[in-house]
Amino acid sequence: MTLIPAEPHPDVAEPQATLETAESAVGNSSLLPDPRSLLIIFWRRIWTFVIVFAFIMGAAIAYATFAPKLYTSTASVLIEPRKADIVMPKEVAQPDQAAPADFIDTQILVLDSAQLSEKVVAALGLTEDAQFGGGASDQVEAPSPAQIRMRLATSAQRLQSAVNIRRAGQTSLIEIAVSTRSPAQSARIANEYVNQYLLSISTAKQAEDQQENAQIDSRLGQLRGEAETADRNLQMYKIANGLMSSEGATMAEQEASTLNQQVAASRAALAERQGRLAAARRQLTKGGGGGDVASALSSGTIGALRQQEADSSRTLAQLHSRYGPRHPAIAQEEQRLADVQRQIQLEIDRILSSLEAEVNVASSGLSSLLSSQSQSRSKLAGNASAQVGYMELERKAIAARTIYEAFLNKSRGTAARDGIERPLASLSSPAVAATAPSSPNVRLAYLVGLMSALTAALLAVALAEFLDGGIRTKLDVERRLGARYLGAVPDVESTLDGLRSTEEPHDYIVSHPLSTFAEALRSLRASVTLRGNRRPKVIAVTSALPREGKTTTAVSLARTLAMSGASTVLVDCDIRRHSASDILLEGREGHLLDVLAGTASLESSLLTDSATDLKILGTHRSPEDGRDLLAPSLVGPLLAALRTQFEYVVIDTAPVLGIADARSVASQADAVILLARWRRTSLRAADTALDLLMGTQAKVVGVALTMVDIRKFGSTGQEDVYGYHKKFKGYYVN
């Protein structure tokens, strides 16, 4: 059944007015739930809340009390930033750089690897530890290598579950937190993790350096050979092609340059000699005799002869002045002068011949130099074509030499850095034994348990309230069923403040007429009889399902009417179970079936209740044949006769949903009370029962709740009288 407000049944008396009255009594509507309503729901489900809360809180307390205590110790490793290379020049070396985040993450994975865990297990002998290795083995024979490997791997996996490796914020610190049952063991394992990590870094670095050095040495020898081969090929090419050089130029270039200089000098010398020879010849042409030739003038021999000539001329002049032309001394001196002048002329002729010889020699030398220059130029042109190959070989030689020198410098730098490089990581702070357990955190366990217990208990209350489809409150009757609310009949024991009742409810109402239970029945009577201008005389009490307190309520209502002084008769029309008859007849025979069958008179069949003046028309047996004795044609006349004799006729009928007799009887009553057991009868069942009764034109005056536990605060809603029950306790005598 969908829990939505049902449309008011047309035969239910004044349902709309009752609904409007209830809504007006509640007050202004609000989008937020009424806190008092929530409190009522909580109080109604208090045991659900207590049980769930106690269970979860007990679980938290048990965990905090009995869970194994773990102690956590933390060691930290500092990942060193990259330092500048102290071997390389400052202009080449890189500045200090911090370790990148991905590098630190990689080191965390290394620390958390199975290989490192196995090294720690092997170093500390944790395969024999109770927590990680399962304790000492009882195996007599020595384990095989495969078994040892398996135990080592198993212990490493268990160790990894006890280790938490994390980065400390955004720093270069890596923290290794180990949780075990022993504080000393936690610190020992954490420190061993650091030791094994640093050892693995050192070992890996040494292996890397050795491999790098071996590769550099191997490559260095290869490059050295390549450089030497390139230089040798270059020199051989130079020799083969005559490209031997000196002072930055090849031999051919130097030879050509020298020849050029010599040709120029030779040409200058030739021109000079030719000029001197030409000048001498011009002097001879002019008749100078060659005496004024520069070569003659500069000759010592000519000078000496000139001196002799002068002396002889002076002597001859003196002789002429003394002697006559025929003087032998004058002839002798003239002969001497002629000899001197002839010698001078011979010397001048020799000098002129020498000048011609010098011109010829210079001309021959120039010709030789020009021939050599031509040959040198031819050779230089050949060297130019060979220079292209020379330059290619030179580039190869330079490249091979550069690579070789680079590797040589790297090798020298590696050798220089050996022993002075800073480590990649270092121990920042060692782990120390914890003084208090880290798990379980008792305060946190209690706090989480408390919050979880409160949350789960409140959710359990909400879930129980949501899943509870039973009719609980006055509003359920008025808004969901659309029926008039007649009141609630409490469970007797709920009115006794923890005491147990020794009487049945129908007897308790007689012995305690001022009790809460009796007042509830009087309130139900008033709700039925004091409505409208026409007072109903025939009141049928029915329910949707069995065991909803129908018979107890019918008997108690009938006794209440009788105790008020009104003449009342109870007709037990639940002829199949006849529970009312069993209560009131006390072993006497009832003749309702005979009266309906016409075999007994009404007056003789009426019996009197032993506790009150209530009359009873009941039966002590179920019908033996299939006759429908509760048909309207038979029940109608009976009820008409009872109307004339009694002020009230109370009918106990069978449940509506299972027995058709109930609808037949209810259709003949002036007022029908539909009972619903508190929190047990579902809205679907009650709504279906109302529909069936409406189908027979029964005059349903409303719905009443039975067996209500009024100890639960606001059990039927704060709009009902039991919401204020405690305020009126002094008015009742229970």
Task: Give the DSSP H/E element, type plus range, for residue 117.
Answer: helix 114-124
How far is residue 7's CA from residue 481's CA, in Å, rounded to a whole number? 7
What local confidence, expressed as pLDDT, does residue 316 receive? 78
Q: Mean pLDDT highest for which of 35-39, 260-264, 700-704? A: 700-704
Amino acid identity at 619: T
What local confidence, expressed as pLDDT, does residue 57 receive? 92
pLDDT at 27 over 90: no
- For strand 648-652 and strand 485-490, is the pairing parallel, antiparallel, or unpaired? unpaired
Q: Which of 37-41, 341-345, 578-582 is the least confident region?
A: 37-41
DSSP state of 127: G
How far is residue 120's CA from residue 159's CA, in Å, rounded to a whole number? 9
Contacts of 681 (CB under 8 A, 6+ apart): 470, 471, 543, 544, 545, 548
Task: Give the DSSP H/E element, type plus range, for residue 672.
Answer: strand 671-677
Q: Which residue has the higher pLDDT, 85 or 157?
A: 157
pLDDT at 35 over 90: no
pTM of the model: 0.51
Q: Which residue has the higher pLDDT, 270 or 185?
A: 185
How far is residue 652's CA from residue 579's CA, in Å, rounded to a whole number? 9
How far is residue 617's CA from residue 475's CA, in Å, rounded to a whole number? 36
What local confidence, expressed as pLDDT, does residue 725 receive? 62
pLDDT at 21 over 50: no
What local confidence, expressed as pLDDT, does residue 565 receive? 92
The residue among 408, 389, 388, 411 whose CA lies nearest residue 400 is: 408
pLDDT at 10 over 80: no
Class of residue 403 by CB neighbours under 10 A (exposed 0-12, middle 13-18, buried 19+): middle
**For residue 494, what are the CA distances in angstroms to 43, 682, 730?**
15, 22, 16
What local confidence, expressed as pLDDT, does residue 353 receive? 82
Q: Which residue has the higher pLDDT, 489 or 21?
A: 489
Cβ atoms of 179 and 164 closer than 8 Å: yes
What local confidence, expressed as pLDDT, does residue 629 receive? 83
Cβ atoms of 592 and 576 closer than 8 Å: no
The pLDDT of 332-346, averaged and rounded, is 82
Both structure tokens of 313? 């001329």
The pLDDT of 718-722, averaged and rounded, is 66
Fold observed for domain 471-731: Rossmann fold (3.40.50)
Q: Which of 140-154, 233-247, 628-642 is the least confident region?
A: 233-247
- Start-to-end CA distance of the chain, whole Å, equals 39
Strands ordered across the beta sheet of 163-167: 163-167, 173-180, 71-79, 425-429
Q: Which of 237-241, 527-531, 597-601 is the least confident region?
A: 237-241
DSSP state of 613: S
In this prediction, residue 278 has a pLDDT band, given cuts at 50, 70 and 90, of confident
Cis peptide before 440 (omega within 30 of 0): yes
What local confidence, expressed as pLDDT, does residue 257 receive? 77
Q: Which of 46-50, 278-282, 455-459 is the least confident region?
A: 278-282
Amino acid identity at 567: S
The residue among 466, 9, 423, 441 whose CA lies nearest residue 197 is: 423
Q: Which of 72-81, 305-314, 480-489, 629-638 is the least confident region?
A: 305-314
The pLDDT of 724-734, averaged and rounded, is 68
Both structure tokens of 597? 């069958």
pLDDT at 28 over 90: no
pLDDT at 720 over 80: no
What local confidence, expressed as pLDDT, does residue 20 receive? 41
Task: Give the DSSP H/E element, type plus range, for residue 684.
Answer: helix 683-695
What local confidence, expressed as pLDDT, does residue 29 receive? 45
What local confidence, expressed as pLDDT, does residue 3 receive? 33
Q: Which residue has the higher pLDDT, 598 or 624?
A: 598
Amino acid identity at 459: L
The pLDDT of 532-552, averaged and rounded, is 91
pLDDT at 687 over 70: yes
The pLDDT of 252-270, averaged and rounded, is 78
Place of tokens 């002969």: 335
pLDDT at 8 over 70: no
Identify the three-state secondary structure at position 697.
Answer: coil
Q: Average model confidence (pLDDT) for the chain?
A: 81
How far is residue 171's CA from residue 83's CA, in Å, rounded to a whole number? 17
Beta bridge partners of 704: 487, 675
How far is residue 2's CA from residue 683's CA, in Å, rounded to a whole number? 9
* Helix residue ranges per DSSP H, 129-250: 145-161, 183-240
Q: Which residue has the higher pLDDT, 420 or 513?
A: 513
Q: Which of 124-138, 350-364, 556-570 is the least confident region?
A: 124-138
pLDDT at 53 over 90: yes
Question: Using CA of residue 7, residue 13, residue 19, residue 22, what is the dihedral sign?
Answer: negative
The residue among 244, 199, 596 whose CA lies nearest residue 427 is: 199
Q: Residue 557's CB: how many other CB atoms inside 10 A?
A: 27
Both structure tokens of 542? 């029915």
What local confidence, expressed as pLDDT, does residue 730 receive? 65
How far is residue 651's CA from residue 541's CA, in Å, rounded to a whole number? 6
pLDDT at 5 over 50: no
How far is residue 577's CA from residue 546's CA, in Å, rounded to a whole number? 11
Domain boundaries, the chain: 249-417, 471-731
Task: Give the DSSP H/E element, type plus range, for residue 73.
Answer: strand 71-79
DSSP state of 623: -
The residue among 668, 652, 659 whose CA lies nearest residue 689 is: 659
How far is residue 164's CA from residue 344's CA, in Å, rounded to a whole number? 127
Q: Residue 244's CB: how many other CB atoms inside 10 A?
A: 12
The pLDDT of 592-613, averaged and rounded, is 91
What local confidence, expressed as pLDDT, does residue 33 receive? 64
In this prediction, residue 12 has a pLDDT band, given cuts at 50, 70 and 90, of very low
pLDDT at 401 over 90: no
How far is residue 623's CA from residue 593's CA, in Å, rounded to a whole number? 7
- Residues 137-146: pLDDT tens digits? 555 577 788 8
Question: How large a percentage of the chain has pLDDT more than 70?
Answer: 81
The helix, strand and coil proportions of the chain, stated in percent and rounded to the nearest 5, come to 60, 10, 30
